[in-house]
Structure 1
Amino acid sequence: MEEGIVTNIQHFSLEDGPGIRTVIFFKGCPFRCKWCANPETQKFHPELGWSRGSCLQCGSCVKKLYKYNISLKNEEVNWGDKTGRAGSIPSQEEVDLACPTKSLHIIGKKYKVSELIDILIEQKPFFDETGGLTLSGGEPLAQPNFAEALLKKAKGNGIRTAIETTSYAQWDVVENIASHIDYYMTDIKVMDSGLHEKWTGLPNQKLLSNIERLLGEFPKVHFRIRTPVIPGVNDNPEAIIAIGKFLKPFENRGELEWELLKYHRLGVPKYEALHREYPMGLVELSQDKFNELKSVASFVFENVI
């Protein structure tokens, strides 16, 4: 039975596809988007995290996890190896015994497909006529065997499926996953490949090619193309128009939407929990600028939401 690593299972989501959904967040992503709101999903192995708000600063972790160089300094819990290397952190059992409030916690847990299917079947009565399972992350395509096995089992149990993905993978992987998907959400951040690589760590030719093929070869799948509007990256009419022109040939395809997402800073506390610096600093995007760019998108492409 296939097994994979997951950071979170969120129930009753209304934001990750149509209807009421259970969202499974895969751990591991090939990109390093500087505005990423889920940094805990970037690395492919478990990590140690710390939540300031629930920490009693009792020192229990310092006493019980001394061999991992846990320390309490300046009202913060720290650990010796902050590189995130696999094997440099305590086990879940050790952390549970050491921290009474679960302020110190392990991010990332292995699940078998059968375990997740049992959870989904319990939630199935709440999915109504449109809801179901959404794979998110991280990047589900980076754990392709696990993702495909989970989707096939879900479909076999009458559960509708959706995915949130970068579409960055070999075409055979993308094609296999898409064949088990009802609702497909993917980003086009910027058309300029050099700019894309500067801000995400990778070029975009592969994902753009995959999106073109998906739109042409999967006519029955509902696609939602998302563009996060990021200050200093694509917050200008030229960048938005370029994406609109890329999508224009598919405008009459049906079951295709384009959504602009306003930049936010909701992920900043997660960087603190991982002892990482937030790469975007203090930049903001005004509502007026976002509204202006959304109008530009609507001018270029009819079905903007």
Structure 2
Amino acid sequence: MEKNTATGMIFNMQKFSINDGPGIRTVVFFKGCPLKCSWCANPESQQPQREIIWDSQKCSSCHTCLKNCPHSAITTTENGIAIAPHRCSDSNSCASCQICIEKCPSRALKAEGDIKTVDEVMRIVLQDEPFYEESGGGVTLSGGEAAMQPDFALALLKALRKKRIHTAIETTGFTSPAVFANLLPYLDLLLFDIKHWDNQKHIEGTGVSNAVILKNMKTAIEQGKNVLPRLPVIPGYNNSLADAEGFVQHLHEAGARRVQLLPFHQFGENKYHLLGKKYAFAHTPALHPEDLAAFQQVFLQHGMEAFF
């Protein structure tokens, strides 16, 4: 059998998932995302390269990592240690050599991100093939953003298609129309995140425009693909009734007739601490479906299915 050695940077593979498409699924998490949302539940997914995370609860403050780092990328702080992020032009930045992880006696350091071949991913995916068949499940590409690694994503989707495994993608939609067009034929379901209907607010919240996102969504719908827009509802950002009206208008223009509302939660907060990053929503209460009854009603009044 011909080997598929195309490689990508993956930071997790989650088996037996039931919330990322139909049936029982394996979710493949791609590292790297073009959006920088301050509420992101997977902050370890944002940077495309491998990152070293530090767990202060396990750390014994022995500074073995600092003494053994060949790149002088680890420094002490009043809160413990800090690992300088990877920068190609900076000799005192993390090169992800993982020597600090090997030397740490407390197991307080861990690498987020690993290079995998398509064959390596498929080997894990196929372990649960009977579950996909029995439940109508399959594999979901998530992240991060899989379209940031288009060659690897395409090679993986083709391998899944050969095995007749249902494919889904959780996507920001922020990629070139050309890349999107290459991936689209191999996708059975697109779970399409929409952060804001207003372009300027989208830029403020994510760092990028929503123009190509809406364009790609419309393209997928026009081609008859199964597209589910998903709206993370964030307090103080996109949760007003006026925002609901704006979303309805833009989703209708894209051809969407349903939307899934994702109430804000703080499940990813601890990851920010592990990465040494500040969490902007530390003191913001989580939202629940009952908090969004009026917000949901706006969609329903305009004939759009809206569910949680």
TM-score (norm. length: structure 2): 0.88
CA contact (8 A) 2:142 2:169 kept: yes
Worse-matched range after superposition: 102-111 or 148-157: 102-111
Worse-matched range after superposition: 238-247 or 25-34: 238-247
Aligned mate of 2:43, from 39, 46, 49: 39
The aligned residue for residue 51 of structure 1 is: 55
Shift, 1:264, TM fit: 1.1
Alignment-mate amino acid for residue 39 of structure 1: P
Gaps of 5+ in 1: none
The aligned residue for residue 205 of structure 1 is: 211
- Separation in 2 of the partners of 1:126 and 1:54? 37
CA contact (8 A) 2:31 2:46 kept: yes
- Separation in 2 of the partners of 1:90 and 1:67? 7
- Separation in 2 of the partners of 1:174 and 1:30? 14
Q: How does 1:56-71 map to 2 (within 5 A)?
A: 56-65=60-69, 68-70=72-74
Shift, 1:73, TM fit: 5.2
Alignment-mate amino acid for residue 20 of structure 2: D
RMSD of aligned residue pairs (Cα, Å): 2.3
- Separation in 2 of the partners of 1:107 and 1:132? 24
Residue by residue, what CA displacement relative to the aligned partner does 1:173-212 show, whole Å, maximum 9, x if unpaired? Answer: 1122121111110112221100110110011111111111
Aligned mate of 2:121, from 91, 98, 116: 116
Shift, 1:249, TM fit: 6.0
CA contact (8 A) 1:229 1:260 kept: yes
The aligned residue for residue 132 of structure 1 is: 138
Q: Percent identity?
A: 33
- Separation in 2 of the partners of 1:178 and 1:129? 24
Question: Relative to structure 1, is the Cα distance of residues 233 and 73 closer, same or farther in structure 2, using a 3 angstrom cutoff?
Answer: closer
The aligned residue for residue 3 of structure 1 is: 7
1:223 is the counterpart of 2:224: no
The aligned residue for residue 80 of structure 2 is: 76
Give the secondary structure class of the aligned counterpart of 1:6: strand
The aligned residue for residue 302 of structure 2 is: 300
CA contact (8 A) 2:214 2:254 kept: no
CA contact (8 A) 1:12 1:21 kept: yes
Give the secondary structure class of the aligned counterpart of 1:179: helix
- Separation in 1 of the partners of 2:218 and 2:162? 28
- Separation in 2 of the partners of 1:174 and 1:67? 38
Aligned mate of 1:142, from 126, 144, 148: 148
Worse-matched range after superposition: 98-107 or 19-28: 98-107
Shift, 1:155, TM fit: 1.3
The aligned residue for residue 156 of structure 1 is: 162
Shift, 1:153, TM fit: 0.3
Q: How does 1:17-28 map to 2 (within 5 A)?
A: 17-28=21-32
- Separation in 2 of the partners of 1:124 and 1:96? 34
Shift, 1:281, TM fit: 4.5
Alignment-mate amino acid for residue 129 of structure 2: K
Worse-matched range after superposition: 89-98 or 14-23: 89-98
Residue by residue, what CA displacement relative to the aligned partner does 1:133-177 show, whole Å, maximum 9, x if unpaired? Answer: 110011111111110000100111121111000111111211221
Shift, 1:125, TM fit: 2.2
Give the secondary structure class of the aligned counterpart of 2:135: coil
CA contact (8 A) 1:2 1:112 kept: yes
Question: Relative to structure 1, is the Cα distance of residues 104 and 155 closer, same or farther in structure 2, using a 3 angstrom cutoff?
Answer: same
- Separation in 1 of the partners of 2:272 and 2:142? 19
- Separation in 2 of the partners of 1:2 and 1:200? 30
Shift, 1:224, TM fit: 1.2
Shift, 1:121, TM fit: 1.2
